[in-house]
Amino acid sequence: MPRLSLHNPAVPRTLPDPQPAPTPVPYWLYLLECEGGVYYAGIAIDVEQRFFQHVFGLGAKFTRARPPLRVLAARVYPDKGAALRAELKVKALPRTRKLAFFETAA
């Protein structure tokens, strides 16, 4: 008696190669000086665009209350995760060391 096969010969037995993983998008960690001399740290793909979002009240709640005056520093990271980890480090630093963080090697 012939053996019953559930495989359709027209359909390949192996799955096609998955799509290659997308290339990670670089993210920037930036430090703003805001009204009252306070600092604000954040991450963005485009720092200039994000700065103007903050200026026009479309950014974080913090910067709506204290509009940014200028970008003090920025550093690029290979992906969002790396930028977020660096942002946490900056936010944990005392104010006197935040700007120095950007002057050291990554």
pLDDT, the chain, mean: 90
Q: Is the dihedral of CA 36, 37, 38, 39 positive or negative?
A: positive
Domains and CATH numbers, the chain: 27-103 (3.40.1440.10)
Q: What is the pTM of this model?
A: 0.79
Q: Residue 80 CB: number of other CB atoms within 10 A?
A: 14
* pLDDT (tens digit per residue) in 1-39: 566 666 666 766 676 667 887 888 999 999 999 999 999
pLDDT in tens, 38-95: 999 999 999 999 999 999 999 899 999 999 999 999 999 999 999 999 999 999 999 9
pLDDT tens-digit map of 45-55: 999 999 999 99
Q: Phi first, then psi: what are they for 73, rounded to 5°?
A: -160, 160
User: Can you tell me the distance from the alpha carbon of 85 to that of 80, in angstroms, rounded to the nearest whole number?
Assistant: 9
- Look-up of token digits 């793909």: 45
